Amino acid sequence: MSIQSNLVSFLKDIPENVKLVAVSKTKPVEDILEAYQAGQRIFGENKAQDVAVKQPQLPNDIEWHFIGHMQTNKVKFIAPFVKLFHGVDSYKILKEINKQALKHGRTIDCLLQFHIAEEQSKFGLSLEEAEQLLSEESFISLENIRITGVMGMSTFTHDKHQVRKEFRHLKQYFDQLKSTCFANDEVFKEISMGMSGDYRIAIEEGSTMIRIGTAIFGERYK
């Protein structure tokens, strides 16, 4: 299957209200261009250096999403163009994104990453931590970022019930924050969940944004 035909069948498969982030990490610009020519405009990368190299070689109307865990010292490489950070889980990183966004006269959208998987991971907030962060004066004073929703990754397992349960938790966190912290905020609306192996379950559980790599571009070899 070609990238183009993978994409076409994907877009047929998903509801209109679900955005497709084509995860092009490790893939060459030629592959991205092929997806672009098939109509895809949103691409996700997880290494700041990689996307900083690819971005200038590709059309300007691509919407770049950063989907990985961000290190503070790398925000500056991508702040001039990145549209949305999916994996934000601390005040420290929000503060840096805000600082770099301000420098470039931009507002950058961010999703709060939650820890929903059973696996031990350093990344992701709990609901309490998120509510705490969102209520702090220091956060409220950040004017060049917008929190537009939540993001999470499920446990890497074949147990579909487990995956469904985790996505359901993320949706509950979203609903909770929507009613407590973002009741009158129209931009807080995205739930980024679902990858090649579990996007159907994610959509059933309320995903508005799926991040698909392998099923579009094929296996990654590095």
Ligand X SMILES: *Cc1c(COP(=O)(O)O)cnc(C)c1O
Residue recorded with tokens 């609903």: 175
Dihedral in degrees, nearest 10, Cα atoms 80, 83, 89, 93: 10
Judged by CB under 6 A, the residue of 11, 47, 68, 90 near ligand X is 68
Residue closer to ligand X (CB basis): 100 or 154 = 154
Which residues have CB under 8 Å from 187's CB, separation 6+? 109, 146, 147, 148
Count of H helices and E strands in the chain?
10, 8
Select from 58-66, 76-84, 142-150, 212-220 the region that touches ligand X (CB under 6 A).
212-220
Candidates 24, 40, 46, 154; binder of ligand X (CB under 6 A) is 46
Binding to ligand X by residue 218, rule CB under 6 A? Answer: no
Nearest Cα neighbor of 88 from 51, 130, 135, 52 is 130
Q: Is 82 in the site for ligand X (CB under 6 A)?
A: no
Angle of CA points 16, 17, 23, to nearest 5°: 90
Is residue 157 a contact residue for ligand X (CB under 6 A)?
no
- The 5-44 contact track toward ligand X, x by CB under 6 A, reads ------------------x-x-------------------
93 binds ligand X per the rule CB under 6 A: no
Chain positions contacting ligand X, by CB under 6 A = 23, 25, 46, 67-68, 153, 195-197, 211-215
